[in-house]
Chains A and B, each alone.
Chain A
Amino acid sequence: AQRVTQPEKLLSVFKGAPVELKCNYSYSGSPELFWYVQYSRQRLQLLLRHISRESIKGFTADLNKGETSFHLKKPFAQEEDSAMYYCALRRYGGSQGNLIFGKGTKLSVKP
């Protein structure tokens, strides 16, 4: 069964500290992985996707098929990074919008 696991419910760091939000997935095929972010009182929005291999707002994520992971990283956290972060997987061959989400990790960046 396809599954996305985000082991940390809450991650609290100080401003300027490195951040790593963990995401592991269970899927036998070729997944497409995403990170979505939800800032306070705002809508869910795409942060990045593994096929783009880009850095958004200083965040990067690398798909590691061997470890079935797609951890989100940022070398120096900022207070404005505080938000809920959701890792999501799209099945190959599934409808475009059939995403499987993890439970989310709340990132709190303290001054």
Chain B
Amino acid sequence: EPEVTQTPSHQVTQMGQEVILRCVPISNHLYFYWYRQILGQKVEFLVSFYNNEISEKSEIFDDQFSVERPDGSNFTLKIRSTKLEDSAMYFCAVGTNTGELFFGEGSRLTVL
């Protein structure tokens, strides 16, 4: 079973600050995803990443968000200027050839 590790587990930041969430380490996967879950609400798809580029993104994934895989293993989600409504759990997931998704434990982001 693929292991998906996310860091940090919890980050508190001030509104307007940049935040980077990481999936570390991931090997031998081609498909990567970010989801978020605002407290009390559903898990929402943000973006899918394949072959080092975005293959699909939701309307939530606006210009404030970006993803990259800078060193071939870490998969990062950057929020350029955080807003209060960005407070949520952010889940990284990897996909397999069978179509199953393996999720990380999530990173809780709190924007003050």
Given A95-B48, A96-B95, A44 and B43 touching (CB < 8 A)?
Answer: yes
Q: How far is the CA of A37 from the CA of B26 in the complex (A)?
A: 22
Closest approach, in angstroms, between the C-beta of A93 and any C-beta of chain B? 10
Question: Do A43 and B56 form a contact, CB below 8 Å, given A97-B48, A98-B45, A99-B45?
Answer: no
Number of chain B residues close to chain A: CB under 8 A: 25
The verdict on A43 contacting B104 (CB below 8 Å), with A95-B55, A96-B31 known, is: yes
Given contacts A90-B99, A96-B48, list 7 more A-B pairs with CB under 8 A.
Answer: A43-B104, A43-B105, A95-B50, A96-B31, A96-B95, A97-B31, A97-B33
Contact with A along B1-24 (1 / 0, CB 8 A): 000100000000000000000000
Complex Cα distance, B37 from A102, in Å, reads 11
Q: What is the CB-to-nearest-CB distance from B47 to chain A, in angstroms, rounded to a whole number? A: 9
28 of the cross-chain contacts (CB-CB < 8 Å) are: A32-B99, A42-B105, A43-B91, A43-B103, A43-B104, A43-B105, A44-B43, A44-B103, A45-B102, A45-B103, A46-B101, A49-B100, A86-B42, A95-B48, A95-B55, A96-B31, A97-B32, A97-B33, A97-B45, A97-B48, A97-B95, A97-B101, A98-B56, A99-B101, A101-B43, A103-B41, A103-B42, A104-B42
Q: Please, how many residues of chain A have a CB less than 8 angstroms from a CB on the other chain?
A: 21
Q: Is A66 in the interface zone, CB < 8 Å from B?
A: no
Residue pair B56, A95 in contact (C-beta under 8 Å): yes
